[in-house]
Amino acid sequence: MVPAGVDFHKSYLHPRRSGRLKMKAFSPYGLVRRREESGTSSGGQRGRRKWMIVSNSRQTRDVNHSPSVFLGIDGGGTRTRALLVDIATGTARAACGPSTNPHAGGFETAFRNLSVVLSELFEGDGDRAPQVDCAFAGIAGLRSAADRGEFARSGILEGIAGRLAYGHDAYGAWAGALACAPGLVVLCGTGSKVYGMTPSGKTVETGGFGFLLGDEGSAAWIGLQGLRRVVAAAQGRAPATALSDALLACLKCRSVDELPERVYAAGLTSRRFASLCPIVAAVAGGGDEVARGIFREGGRKLAELARAAVRSFAGDDTVSVSYQGSVFECGELILEPFRTRLQERGSRVALELPRFSGVEGSVLLAMRDSGLENPVNVLAGVLSRTERG
Amino acid sequence: MVPAGVDFHKSYLHPRRSGRLKMKAFSPYGLVRRREESGTSSGGQRGRRKWMIVSNSRQTRDVNHSPSVFLGIDGGGTRTRALLVDIATGTARAACGPSTNPHAGGFETAFRNLSVVLSELFEGDGDRAPQVDCAFAGIAGLRSAADRGEFARSGILEGIAGRLAYGHDAYGAWAGALACAPGLVVLCGTGSKVYGMTPSGKTVETGGFGFLLGDEGSAAWIGLQGLRRVVAAAQGRAPATALSDALLACLKCRSVDELPERVYAAGLTSRRFASLCPIVAAVAGGGDEVARGIFREGGRKLAELARAAVRSFAGDDTVSVSYQGSVFECGELILEPFRTRLQERGSRVALELPRFSGVEGSVLLAMRDSGLENPVNVLAGVLSRTERG
């Protein structure tokens, strides 16, 4: 349905996995409690390595233990992905679940959803689950120290990982796209933002204010623009195209007059509008000029976000710019206008293909945080030997 | 604060009156119940006319009674106005209260708010309140027959008026602006829409899909555009101007980073964004180019709505276009771009100053509905002798 896009999202991270979630086996934070209660006990064989299930407390750990199991979390506006990489066995496994953005559905929902993803990740392990040495959790909406404190107090990841850091999902996305090198990543999923790091280590951000105040080019923005064109077409202010039928059918509206009821009565969430983005992409892929125009405008606006962020980089050096997120999976529909506007006269950017995905970037940050040498090569090595490569 | 605009809103319709509402004396629909219970009784002297308090039932009315008391209701997205005109005494009185749009706060809230306005209108009358011969209630959001049925079943106005019709507020706005002549009215208050009547009596509508799906140029749209410019300015994507300080101060934000919390956590209503429009207007009035640009774009978009509606008028005849609503009270800020775009090459419109306000238009419709001859002259005559003239 959606035109072939960039191929950094491979099968093992595919959202269809979330369909396998066994909710009946889940109780909130149950996984964590079970682990906290288990204490130091029961070694087990898995691959080439002997696992020790230990309590949360770092004091009980073997001080000579060299870190080899890393967990990355990428909590986006719509989905949360987890990736567990074991460099000793050279294996990786992944899980996917609902959004953990605390400002979308509240902290309790975010904690529950995070637990769901972890339950899936460790499903079937029982007490033989690997001890995670280091984890980085990148969560959408986790901006303030207070927010990070809430997550830390929940104890969910603390029960699993020996060493742990929380940040927002853009940090993992940047780490993945540019393999932790200075530069910018343009994130475009449910929402949109630009995040980056200067050579001196200063962080840079533009965008990311949600679908009403900004988020141009995001899936929510694209869905909303689609609906606005449907209304304009019905009123003779714009050409009526295939987009109208497709979006009205998707929202189960017999006519455009039913649209306000469907949109306003159901509550206004960015995720709801973002869910229409694949429809707009499909219609655009079929050649519809109105739908293509939405992607053209979105791509240009994303490039403008990035160009505004480039000004935060000192001097005249060229700035690496890469990208992440589900909207870029729509391929040239969004990439062509993005690339063109980004590289217009006067810009000092070098567009780079994303090296790793956001959740892989989170693993990279966990590896770097543990002091592991050359994490980029290590991760690339493991991934090349797993389903990804 | 707001630059002087068109002057069709005179003091007796001024919203400050709503400050006088005596809520303690109010119980939901109490006014109606009192009237229903009073039956046919107690004549009273008021001005030159003897009033008869009669029950709601039309059967008890004097069949020879010639209609002389008319009630108009203009229920907008933010405020509801009521105007009672007595052509026998040549007097008018008005009241103002909160919105009665049932799709904004629900039917129960709408009914309660309508009762509040009526309580104020008849405050102090006791059993000497005038019997209304004919009423028209124009209510924002009242689109379907089912909605009108809900209002009719509430019995609120049925307890007061002998003859009664419900419609949406755009109908009253059109009746007022063009004195019921064929043509279009551009409504721009909390929301925006274009409504009109062709010479053959066919109704025409464009816009009116709420602040997410349309409503370009409306107060909600202007407020939201203002906030988007604040975000863009903070991120170096647009010039930082006086608008940023003014809007952040209004929302009690110390910095732009607090904006998402203020906007999203509080729930997203069009009225909330519309309440920022006066701030944008004040800054624009002070010469701020960014704020002026928002009004320019809004004015042009309103003109485009009207031009799309003109296509529904057969032949090449010139179509009268007028306007109503609080945003037009910002004067030339919005009128200049509106007028310019409306009259651009290829249009066949004659721009007309609004003759009456929306609530006066509702009275006009009530008069016309009662079979009164030459209602426009009668209404103009009464209004010229009241506070308005």
Give pLDDT, residue A34: 32
Written as one letter, the residue type at A381 is G
Give pLDDT, residue B345: 84
Average pLDDT (B301-314) is: 92
Give pLDDT, residue B381: 94
Average pLDDT (B232-260) is: 90
Residue whose entry in the numeric block shows the structure tokens 């714009």: A238
**CB-nearest partner of A210 from B237, B264, B309:** B264
Q: Is B203 on the interface with A (CB under 8 A)?
A: no
Give pLDDT, residue B130: 82
Judged by average pLDDT, the poorest of B23-27, B63-67, B347-351 is B23-27
* Better-predicted residue by pLDDT, B348 or B158: B348
**Min CA distance, A6 vs chain B (Å)?**
28
Give contacts of B214 with chain A, Cβ < 8 Å. Answer: 228, 231-232
* Residues in a beta bridge with B323: B186
Residues 25-54 of A with CB under 8 A from B: none
pLDDT digits (tens, 9 = 90+) for A332-384: 999 999 999 999 988 899 999 999 999 999 999 999 999 999 999 999 999 99
pLDDT digits (tens, 9 = 90+) for B97-153: 999 998 878 899 999 999 999 999 998 887 777 889 999 999 988 878 888 899 988
Task: Find all residues with CB under 8 Å of B274, minimum gap 6, and list them.
Answer: B77, B78, B189, B190, B218, B219, B220, B222, B223
* Better-predicted residue by pLDDT, A260 or B228: B228
Q: Residue B66 above 90 pLDDT? A: no
Helices in chain B by DSSP H: which ranges? 30-38, 102-105, 107-121, 145-154, 169-177, 210-213, 219-234, 242-250, 259-265, 270-274, 277-285, 289-310, 332-342, 358-369, 375-385
Average pLDDT (A267-291) is: 92
Among B192, B235, B251, B313, the strongest candidate for a mutation testing the A interface, having the largest count of A CBs within 10 A, is B235
Average pLDDT (B65-87) is: 92
Among A147, A231, A248, A310, the strongest candidate for a mutation testing the B interface, having the largest count of B CBs within 10 A, is A231
Give pLDDT, residue B7: 29
CB contact under 8 A, A206 and B264: no
Reduced to 3 states (helix: H, G, I; strand: E, B; else coil), residue A368 is helix
Confidence of residue B265 (pLDDT cuts 50, 70, 90): confident
Average pLDDT (A243-252) is: 94
**Token pair listed for B342:** 């409306």
Give contacts of A259 with chain B, Cβ < 8 Å. Answer: 209, 213
Q: Residue A91 above 80 pLDDT? A: yes
Confidence of residue B64 (pLDDT cuts 50, 70, 90): low
pLDDT digits (tens, 9 = 90+) for A8-48: 233 233 233 332 322 222 223 333 323 333 333 333 333 22
- Count Cβ neighbours within 10 Å for each residue of A234-261 and write b for 16 or more, e otherwise: bbebbebbbbbebbbebbebeebeebbe
Q: Residue B364 above 60 pLDDT? A: yes
Give pLDDT, residue A16: 30
**CB-nearest partner of B227 from A213, A224, A235:** A213
Mean pLDDT (chain A) is: 82
Say how far apart CA A326 and CA A324 lie, in whole Å.
7
CB contact under 8 A, B207 and A308: no
Give pLDDT, residue A48: 25
Give pLDDT, residue B12: 30
Q: Is B242 on the interface with A (CB under 8 A)?
A: no
A/B interface, count of CB pairs below 8 Å: 79
pLDDT digits (tens, 9 = 90+) for A107-149: 999 999 999 999 999 988 877 778 899 999 999 888 788 888 9
Give pLDDT, residue B124: 81
CB contact under 8 A, A210 and B263: yes
Give pLDDT, residue B387: 60
Written as one letter, the residue type at B142 is L
Q: Is A216 on the interface with B (CB under 8 A)?
A: no
Reduced to 3 states (helix: H, G, I; strand: E, B; else coil), residue A330 is helix
Average pLDDT (B46-75) is: 55
Give pLDDT, residue A31: 38
Domains of chain A as residue ranges with CATH: 11-179+356-385 (3.30.420.40), 183-351 (3.30.420.40)
Average pLDDT (B209-226) is: 92
* E-state strands within B54-182: 69-75, 79-86, 91-98, 132-139, 161-167
Give pLDDT, residue A60: 40
Mean pLDDT (chain B) is: 82
pLDDT digits (tens, 9 = 90+) for B151-208: 988 888 887 888 999 998 999 999 999 999 999 999 999 999 999 999 999 999 888 8
Q: Residue A174 above 60 pLDDT? A: yes
Give pLDDT, residue B58: 36
Angle at A145 between CA A76 and CA A306, to 5 degrees: 50
* Better-predicted residue by pLDDT, B99 or B59: B99
Give pLDDT, residue A276: 96
Confidence of residue B236 (pLDDT cuts 50, 70, 90): confident
Q: Residue B79 above 50 pLDDT? A: yes
Report the share of chain B in percent with pLDDT over 90: 59
Say how far apart CA A16 and CA A79 lie, in whole Å.
11
Say how far apart CA A274 and CA A226 lie, in whole Å.
11
Give pLDDT, residue A64: 56
